[in-house]
Structure 1
Amino acid sequence: MRSGDVRRAALATAALGALLVSLPGCGGPGPAAGRGAPGTRAAGNPADTRQETDPTRIPDIGDRLRRRIPADTRQVVAVYGAGRNSAESTVVLYTRHGTTWDRTGNWPAHNGKKGWTTNHHEGDHRSPVGVFTLSDAGGVLPDPGARLPYTRSAAFAAPRWWPNSYWHDFDYVIAIDYNRVKGTPPNDPTRPRGQSEGGGIWLHMDHGSGTSACVSLPRSAMRYLLRTLDPQRHPVVVMGDRADLRT
C-alpha cells in the first residue's frame, strides 16, 4: 500500500468516532425531512430549456460566479436549483474543449431540504451558493475507478437508526470543498473556519428527497462523475438556485 493510501486509511479510521458523534452536513433526515419521488426531474430544467447562444459561456451562470471559476478548470458540475426554497435541482456536467463548454452529463438531483443560502451555517438545512473545488472522494463501496483520490471505509456508512431509505446515501461521495481540508478523506471532521459555518457537504447518493446541505444524485450519476472528474482538469462545482446563479 502506498504511503498516501496508508495515511488516508488512518485518517478515515480516526474520523469514524467523530462521524458517529458529529454527523456530516448531510447527517440524516432530521425532523423536517420531506419525501419526494425518486428519480423525478426538477421542474424547469434550465439546461434543457435555455437558448444559449455563446458556447464559451456556461448557461445560466452570471459574471459574479463565473469570475470565481479558476482559469485552469476544464470540468464544471453545475447544480441548478429550482428555487431558493426548493429541494429540487438539476446537475449538469460541462467539459471545456478549447474555449467551448460542452454538456456531457445531465441528471435530476436534490439539494438542502430548505433550499439555498449565501450564508450557510450549521443546521440550517440549506445548501451553500458558490463555486467550490472538488478534490477528494470515497464511500462505503469499493472504488469504481475514480480519478479523484478515493477512500473506501465503513466509517462512511449511514447510521442504522436513520430510515432505511437513507442507508445507501454514502455508498459513493465526492467532497465539496466547503470549510474542509483538501487532500483528506471526505469524512475528515476538520473545519478550518469553525463548526458554526457547517461542513461535511458532499455530492452523494440520492434517497428521493432533500438533504441537510449536500447535493444528491442517482447512483449511475455518481459512478459516472467518479470515473470522469479528473484532478488534472481541476474540477469545480458551481451551485445555487437559478436566481443566484444568474446574478
Structure 2
Amino acid sequence: MVATGSGENSSVTTVQLWSADGSGCWTAGPARPAHNARDGWTTDHHAGDLQSPVGVFTLSDAGGKLADPGTRLPYHRSASFTLDGTGFQGEPLAGSFDYVIAIDYNRTPGRSPLDTSHPLGDDRGGGIWLHADHGGPTHGCIALARPDLRTLLTALDPAAHPVIVMGPANFLSQ
C-alpha cells in the first residue's frame, strides 16, 4: 500500500493498494482520498509533532470498537477504541476508531493496536494507525473513508506480509 501526499507540509493524502500476481507484476488499485497529519510528514517523528512518519512499515494487526468485518489480520475488539471531541477543523471525531489497522511504527507487532509500549521510546511517539476519516487532518495517522478502510481490512492478507509506504510524493520518488 502507498500513502502519499502532495508535499511535505500537506495533510491531504492519496492511498492506493497494490497487489502482485504470481509472476511479480504489480497492479495498482483505485486511488482513494485520505488525510495524514496536520503538519505533513517527517523523517524524524516524535510524540506530539503533528506529523506523519515517513517510511515503509509493516501492517500486522487490526482492531476497533466494532466487530471484526472479516479481516485476516489479528483483530482486537475493544470499547477502548473511542475518540470523542472535535478535530483541528471542528469536525466530530466520534467513530474514527470503529476500525483501525496498526501501522508498525514504534510498536510491537502481534499486540493490540491499543498497546502503549514503544520499542524506540515514548518520545518517538506511537499509535500510528489507518483509521476512519473524520474529514480533517490527523495527529500522525492516515485516515480514509470508512468503506475504503473496510475494503482494506478484508483485502490485507498477513501471509503476504503487507506494508505501507508513506510520505510526500517528492520523498517517495527518490
Which TM-score band applies after superposition, normalised by the shorter structure? over 0.9
| 1:182 equivalent in structure 2 | 109
Equivalent residues of 1:142, 1:152 under 8 A apart: yes
Residue 16 of structure 2 is aligned to residue 92 of structure 1: yes
| 1:221 equivalent in structure 2 | 148
Instruction: Determine what percentage of the aligned residue pairs are the same residue.
Output: 52
1:1-247 residue pairs with structure 2 within 5 A? Answer: 77-97=1-21, 98-158=23-83, 160=84, 162-163=85-86, 165-247=92-174
Q: Distance in 2 between matches of 1:174 and 1:196?
A: 22
* Structure with the greater alpha carbon radius of gyration: 1
- Aligned-residue offset at 1:165: 1.4
Equivalent residues of 1:114, 1:126 under 8 A apart: yes
TM-score by length of 2: 0.95
Which stretches of structure 1, 4 residues or more, deviate above 6 A after TM superposition? none
RMSD: 0.9
| 1:19 equivalent in structure 2 | none
User: What are structure 2's unaligned runs of at least 5 residues?
Assistant: none
Instruction: Decide which structure has greater strand share.
Output: 2
Q: Distance in 2 between matches of 1:106 and 1:144?
A: 22
User: What are structure 1's unaligned runs of at least 5 residues?
Assistant: 1-76
Instruction: Decide which structure has greater helix share.
Output: 1
Deviations 1:147-202 (A, max 9, x none): 100011001111x3x12710111000000000001100101001011110010000
3-state SS of the aligned residue for 2:31?
Answer: strand
Q: Distance in 2 between matches of 1:127 and 1:223?
A: 22
- Aligned-residue offset at 1:128: 0.5
Deviations 1:193-238 (A, max 9, x none): 1110010000000011110000000001110000000001110000
Equivalent residues of 1:94, 1:105 under 8 A apart: no
